[in-house]
Structure 1
Amino acid sequence: MVAGTPTPTLVSANGLLEELDLETNNLRDEIPPELGQLPSLIIPGLEVNNLSGRLAPTIFNLSSIEIISLAVNNLSGYVLEELNGFRLPKLREMCLNTNGFSGRIPDSISNASMLTLVELSENSFNGPVPMTLGSLRHLGIFNVQMNELTNNPTQTELHFLTGLTQCRRLRVLSISHNPMQGALPGSIGKFSNSLEKFYAAESQVQGNLPYQIGNISGLLDLVLQKNDLSGAIPSSFGNLHKLQWLYLLDNKIVGNIPHEVCSLTSLGNLDLDLNKIYGPIPLCIGNLTGITSISLSSNAFTSIPQTMWSLREAWFMNFSDNAVTGYLPSEIGNLVNLETLDLSKNQLSASIPGILSNLKMLQQLNLSDNAFQGIIPTSIGDVASLESLDLSSNNLSGIIPKSLEKLHYLKHLNLSFNMLSGSVPINGAFANFTIKSFMGNLDSCGNSKLRLPPCPYTTTSRPRKALMHISYYELLGATNNLNEANLLGGGSFGSVYKGTMSDGEIVAVKVFNLEVEGAATSFDRECLVLRNVRHRNLVKIISSCSNLDFRALVLQYMPNGSLGKWLCNQGQNCLDILKRMDIMIDVASGLEYLHNGYSEPIVHCDLKPSNILLDEDMVAHVGEFGIAKILAKYKSMTQTATLGTMGYIAPEFGLQGRVSPKGDVYSYGIMLMETLTRKNQGDEMFFGGLSLRQWVISFYSDRVTEILDTSLWSGYGEATINAAMDSLTHCFSSIIEFALQCSSDLPEERPNMTDILVKLKKMKHNLVQHLSRFNRQ
């Protein structure tokens, strides 16, 4: 290995030198300008060193140069603009990637007409991509990813792509990670069949996917993830018979998966995550027999065809966060190469098939947030490679199989919020798990380390917590005789106390005031709703106490209080923007389950910040189901005389007593506005007929930042906020616009909770992307 600085002496002593190969050494400092005095130099190879500084313009005055190889250094300056008008007639390859170069790509690059490779990635080149690239008729690879290049500001389409279609030998085209801000032109279909790889990820590409893209029949990789693409997937994609990678995740694509996609029999990787694609996954998906990775999470798919389970080559499958119903068939045992299976956050039911034990390569299994019933199959203990198992928030019962102790590689286990009973295993990997892996299973027992009650000595007796009811005297003892020192808060039907049960568990005890009209009915309704639903974002019921003159519910304790109290907090402990988005996503997830995840839709009817409770991890849980309504199956609305809270109830609820899931959506929209502005209908400024929604509309859309709560930025320095605000304004305008849409006067103009959940996750993702560009102070 050569180290040190390239010296002028070395250069001057080699006047006839044609090839200088010093790559992958430890050269540092600047490249001496004397390099330009080597008239015969063809290849200056200096890549992968620690060279720095600007390049002297004289270096590339050599008409003999065929390859410029300076990649992976710390060089800087406007190198392309200083390349003497690109009067380099023999130049074939230009590798400047992974440096600190900046400036524009000049139109004169077309003068180097013999170029076959242009590698400029990972620099700071800016300005529009020139239209003259089409003159580079020998060009095979053009990679400008991870720069600051833009589209021509006078054009709405990426017209430089039209120019590149004239490069008939082009095989690889990458413009990813640039702020292009333009649509793919229809002329993209004019690329020759030599184009094999097209990458335009995270490039702010807009508009519909052009139908003509299906003409590029030689494509192997099409990567368009994390853009603003909309519309449906064109049926012409079925013509891309050689396609191996199709990445369209995190866009705004709608519609169904066209059946023509099933003709892509060479496809190995398909990722459509985070879009708005809906309906059943087509039956013909089983034709994609060579697929190894398929990811369709965070959409609105309703079913998975049985043919999916015939894709024996697949090692990765993710269908999480959809609206998939049905059950897992025994054919799932065919996926013998599968390493990851994620079906979480759907509406799957029935039992977990024991044939999962066939999946000997499985490392990650996530079936959480569904409605699976029955026992955990003992045979799962035979999946020796399993590293992560999440079966939380289902309706599983029975014991935790001791066979799971055999899973020596198991690092993550979550069985919480089921109906599991009996002793929790203690050997093997179980020695490393905490109570979080098992909480919310009322009949589980185990050692003191897990804070579970001790297991009984006989199989016929059951621990006290398994009883359906807790006695009045137990609750008095737990709350110190309903002492005011334990009072957490109150509502229209009673009070809530903090309680400590005999086994040390801290709970919330909601005592109903039976002298208040409707309190007994409210108790019955909460029991009916809470005993039948189970979701991580709904308050969990632990037990109840009911006699002639006393009614109480024992609920999961929420140590961080309500969202309403946090929004009223004027001190240091404020919720920043990302935490507020997390909370609203949690609320949307809970409501989406109430509306769609139970056999009959449940409408909360009283959604407001004081009814959103926060656990020790600041995860939000929807509580207070005292006036909730369970709609008859297939019935989209009902009527009631019981009103929620003024300022949050939908117009049709207050005027006509009409109850439907769209009423909760209205309340959610109001709460979203309140969460961002920290204003509520009870503020003095809203007396006299002005509502929070009307006030927000008066600032929308050009003055949105004026109504945002300043404590959204807690934890960020003032300089960071000022730098980020311009790029974040569009994000916040979108969120406020969405809140206004949710709170539309007409129910049919409001989105459903499934769409809300998908869109809010995208909005949070956009916020994270923008904020990540600015360092916290």
Structure 2
Amino acid sequence: MSISLSTANITSDLDFPSYVGSLSLRGCNITEFPKFIRNGRNLFSIDLSNNKIKGQVPDWLWRLPELSFVNLSNNSLSGFNGSLNVPPESQISSVDLSLNAFQGPLFIPSSKYLNYFLGSKNNFTGEIPLSICGLSSLQILDLSNNNLNGSIPRCLETLVMSSLSYLNLRNNRLSGILPEIFQNAKSLMSLDVSQNRLKGKMPASLVGCSALQVLNVGSNTFNDMFPFHLNSLQKLQVLVLRSNKFRGKLHNADGVWFGFPQLKIIDVSYNGFFGTLPSLYFLNWTAMSSKSDDNMEPEYMQSPSRNYYFSLVLISKGVSMEMERILTIYTAIDFSGNQLQGPIPDSVGLLKELRILNMSNNAFTGHIPSSLANLTNLESLDLSQNKISGEIPPALGTLSSLEVINVSHNQLVGSIPQGTQFQRQNCSSYEGNPGLNGPSLKDVCRDIKVPTPPQPELMETKEEEEEESFSWVAAGLGFAPGVVFGLVMGYIMVSYKHEWFMKFFGRSKQRTTRNH
């Protein structure tokens, strides 16, 4: 029997039938852990998510004999009250502790049936416990957004070789290298170790992750060349190398891009990549060139609670944000913050499914490719901080899907396109291009004046006004010294009379005193 009282107001002394198997108290404004659950001898599923529960998780919870699914996410729980010891006979297979206030060492129930453990967005500290490597059934492990430190345990190789499909260690304080533990990781679909303190080179063993769809190592200090050795990963859809120390060129010696046929999101921004991009650079980017029928997010991306999806932090439309279910809707290229030069390849116009294109903060030259007009799904275009010259192609005005445009600080000239999406941008989107002009720009940027030749009548009037102004100035200059001279002489005379008066008055006063 199942009971769902979600969004209802529940009291802690509720009379709870012991025969209930599934209980959902999601979003009921509960502030204390319900003690009546202790009587649920047949409970196999408990959902207490989205409440206001504070304090400790009671130790008796993990001893409920049939308990399999536990969702305590999105509360204010802070500890475990001695509940760190889970009975060996435990049936627990799924635990969601995310979005709480847990502190101290990481707690993971040592159940041999555990498939899903979600502990993200807490304040767990210390190292990743080695006991985690003995969880032979674990498929999803999300420890992101905590304060875990130390190195990534090499014993995780046991998990990635057996059952682990999803590993998220994002935004912690993990250090050291990313170990060579992926030789036979044929079930691993997503690996996210971004926003840590990892260094060294990309593991060569990643080529063994034949099912890998998401690889995110952004915001670390990896020091390596572009990982072309991973081009054998035929299912890779997301590759993020952002904010590291990667260097070199973004293409092989022959200038051809190959491999990664399913790539939908690539972010290599803020590294040390340099060189030019060949004219046919985007020729083989098939997943961004045509709409795929297979764009449903894999089932493994969802936890049994059905409210957890794979997410990725992206710079979208100039804003850093965490996006969920990106594999179903997003295609993005971010090459910003490198040392790329030469023209932007015309072949970029082949990427008809592209939504975000960021080439800013490089040294690109040449013109803006007119082929960009083919990108009818493009929502954000950033070409700022380059050396691009020429006019903005008028055909870009037909891109009705564009929401954010930034071409500032280049060498552009002429008018901006007439499309409303160009005219509703902020003035900052066009600044730093002295050659941009025209009525359309005047409407957007009131402070940028359109140069117009002066009319003859206006010139004559202006000359007359200047002559008249000069006459007044000359008169003023002639009059001013006279005024100053008069004032000085007046001051001298007044001072002299005052001195004479005081002397005369003083003598008269002395005579009067003597007579008396």
User: Which residues of 2 match residues 664-679 of structure 1 at below 5 A?
Assistant: none
8 Å CA contact retained: 1:5, 1:29: no
Deviation at 1:249, TM superposition (A): 0.9
- 2:166 aligned with 1:172, yes or no? yes
Match of 1:265 among 252, 261, 266: 261
Could you tell me which amino acid in structure 2 is paired with residue 226 of structure 1?
A: S
In structure 1, the partner of 2:220 is 227
In structure 1, the partner of 2:142 is 143
Q: Distance in 1 between matches of 2:176 and 2:19?
A: 49
8 Å CA contact retained: 2:66, 2:91: yes
In structure 1, the partner of 2:274 is 278
Deviation at 1:343, TM superposition (A): 3.6
Cα 1:5–1:393 shift into 2, 3 Å: closer
Deviation at 1:221, TM superposition (A): 0.9
In structure 2, the partner of 1:96 is 97
In structure 2, the partner of 1:3 is 8
Cα 1:194–1:363 shift into 2, 3 Å: closer
Q: Distance in 1 between matches of 2:369 and 2:206?
A: 42
User: Which residues of 2 match residues 51-90 of structure 1 at below 5 A?
Assistant: 51-78=53-80, 82-90=83-91
Cα 1:52–1:88 shift into 2, 3 Å: farther
Could you tell me which amino acid in structure 2 is paired with residue 327 of structure 1?
A: P
Cα 1:163–1:253 shift into 2, 3 Å: same
Cα 1:208–1:243 shift into 2, 3 Å: same
Cα 1:292–1:117 shift into 2, 3 Å: farther
Deviation at 1:408, TM superposition (A): 7.0
Deviation at 1:358, TM superposition (A): 4.2
Q: Over aligned residue pairs, what C-alpha RMSD do you find?
A: 3.9
8 Å CA contact retained: 1:212, 1:236: no
Q: Distance in 2 between matches of 1:417 and 1:169?
A: 54
Q: Distance in 2 between matches of 1:340 and 1:29?
A: 43
- 2:445 aligned with 1:400, yes or no? no
8 Å CA contact retained: 2:12, 2:35: no
Cα 1:395–1:68 shift into 2, 3 Å: closer
8 Å CA contact retained: 2:341, 2:365: yes
Cα 1:207–1:157 shift into 2, 3 Å: farther
In structure 2, the partner of 1:48 is 50
Three-state SS of the structure 1 residue aligned to 2:60 is helix
In structure 1, the partner of 2:133 is 134
Q: Distance in 2 between matches of 1:92 and 1:20?
A: 16
Deviation at 1:113, TM superposition (A): 0.8
Cα 1:159–1:405 shift into 2, 3 Å: closer
Q: Distance in 2 between matches of 1:407 and 1:53?
A: 51
Three-state SS of the structure 2 residue aligned to 1:164 is helix
TM-score by length of structure 1 reads: 0.48
Q: Distance in 2 between matches of 1:44 and 1:240?
A: 39
Match of 2:181 among 177, 183, 187: 187
8 Å CA contact retained: 2:143, 2:168: yes
Cα 1:121–1:70 shift into 2, 3 Å: same
8 Å CA contact retained: 2:336, 2:360: yes
Q: Distance in 1 between matches of 2:330 and 2:116?
A: 35
In structure 2, the partner of 1:327 is 343
Deviation at 1:219, TM superposition (A): 0.9
In structure 2, the partner of 1:21 is 24
Deviation at 1:231, TM superposition (A): 2.2
Cα 1:180–1:35 shift into 2, 3 Å: same
Deviation at 1:369, TM superposition (A): 3.9
Could you tell me which amino acid in structure 1 is paired with residue 49 of structure 2?
A: E
Three-state SS of the structure 1 residue aligned to 2:266 is strand
Could you tell me which amino acid in structure 2 is paired with residue 137 of structure 1?
A: S
**Structure 2 segments unaligned to the other structure (5+ residues):** 1-5, 291-312, 316-328, 463-469, 474-516
Q: Distance in 1 between matches of 2:194 and 2:180?
A: 19
Cα 1:130–1:415 shift into 2, 3 Å: closer
Cα 1:161–1:425 shift into 2, 3 Å: same
Q: Distance in 1 between matches of 2:59 and 2:167?
A: 28
8 Å CA contact retained: 2:285, 2:351: no
Deviation at 1:339, TM superposition (A): 4.2
> Over residues 425-468 of structure 1, what are the superposed CA-to-partner deviations in whole Å (9 max), with x where a residue is unaligned?
47xxx545342xx37xxxx33xxxxxxxx66348xx9xx9xxxx
- 2:153 aligned with 1:158, yes or no? yes
Deviation at 1:211, TM superposition (A): 0.8
User: Which residues of 2 match residues 377-776 of structure 1 at below 5 A?
Assistant: 377-397=393-413, 399-400=414-415, 404=418, 406-407=420-421, 410-413=424-427, 414-420=429-435, 424-425=439-440, 431=443, 433-435=445-447, 438=448, 444-445=450-451, 456-457=454-455
8 Å CA contact retained: 1:235, 1:261: no
Cα 1:171–1:411 shift into 2, 3 Å: same
Deviation at 1:92, TM superposition (A): 1.3
Deviation at 1:209, TM superposition (A): 1.1
In structure 1, the partner of 2:118 is 119
Cα 1:268–1:86 shift into 2, 3 Å: farther
Q: Distance in 2 between matches of 1:261 and 1:369?
A: 26
Q: Distance in 1 between matches of 2:401 and 2:372?
A: 12
In structure 2, the partner of 1:201 is 194
Deviation at 1:16, TM superposition (A): 2.6
Cα 1:249–1:28 shift into 2, 3 Å: same
Q: Distance in 2 between matches of 1:352 and 1:392?
A: 13
Q: Distance in 2 between matches of 1:384 and 1:19?
A: 49
In structure 1, the partner of 2:325 is none
- Larger RCO: Structure 1 or Structure 2 (Cα < 8 Å, ≥ 6 residues apart)? 2
Cα 1:375–1:185 shift into 2, 3 Å: closer
Three-state SS of the structure 1 residue aligned to 2:133 is helix
Cα 1:337–1:119 shift into 2, 3 Å: closer
8 Å CA contact retained: 1:269, 1:292: no
Cα 1:127–1:292 shift into 2, 3 Å: farther
> Over residues 698-732 of structure 1, what are the superposed CA-to-partner deviations in whole Å (9 max), with x where a residue is unaligned?
xxxxxxxxxxxxxxxxxxxxxxxxxxxxxxxxxxx
Percent identical pairs in the alignment equals 25
8 Å CA contact retained: 2:409, 2:431: yes
Deviation at 1:361, TM superposition (A): 4.2
Could you tell me which amino acid in structure 2 is paired with residue 231 of structure 1?
A: D
Give aligned pairs, total. Answer: 418
Deviation at 1:4, TM superposition (A): 3.4
8 Å CA contact retained: 1:214, 1:236: yes
Q: Distance in 1 between matches of 2:332 and 2:352?
A: 11
8 Å CA contact retained: 1:223, 1:248: yes
Deviation at 1:121, TM superposition (A): 1.4
8 Å CA contact retained: 1:31, 1:51: yes
Match of 1:239 among 232, 241, 254: 232
Cα 1:140–1:409 shift into 2, 3 Å: farther
In structure 2, the partner of 1:731 is none
Three-state SS of the structure 1 residue aligned to 2:283 is helix
Cα 1:194–1:343 shift into 2, 3 Å: closer
8 Å CA contact retained: 1:351, 1:373: yes
Q: Distance in 1 between matches of 2:268 and 2:422?
A: 34
Deviation at 1:8, TM superposition (A): 3.0
8 Å CA contact retained: 2:288, 2:351: no
Three-state SS of the structure 2 residue aligned to 1:84 is coil
Which has more helix, going by share of residues?
1
8 Å CA contact retained: 2:226, 2:248: yes
8 Å CA contact retained: 1:78, 1:102: no
Q: Distance in 2 between matches of 1:87 and 1:147?
A: 28
Q: Distance in 2 between matches of 1:340 and 1:7?
A: 50
Match of 2:246 among 224, 248, 253: 253
Deviation at 1:423, TM superposition (A): 5.3
TM-score by length of structure 2 reads: 0.70
Cα 1:235–1:404 shift into 2, 3 Å: closer
In structure 2, the partner of 1:696 is none
In structure 2, the partner of 1:486 is none
Q: Distance in 2 between matches of 1:422 and 1:246?
A: 39
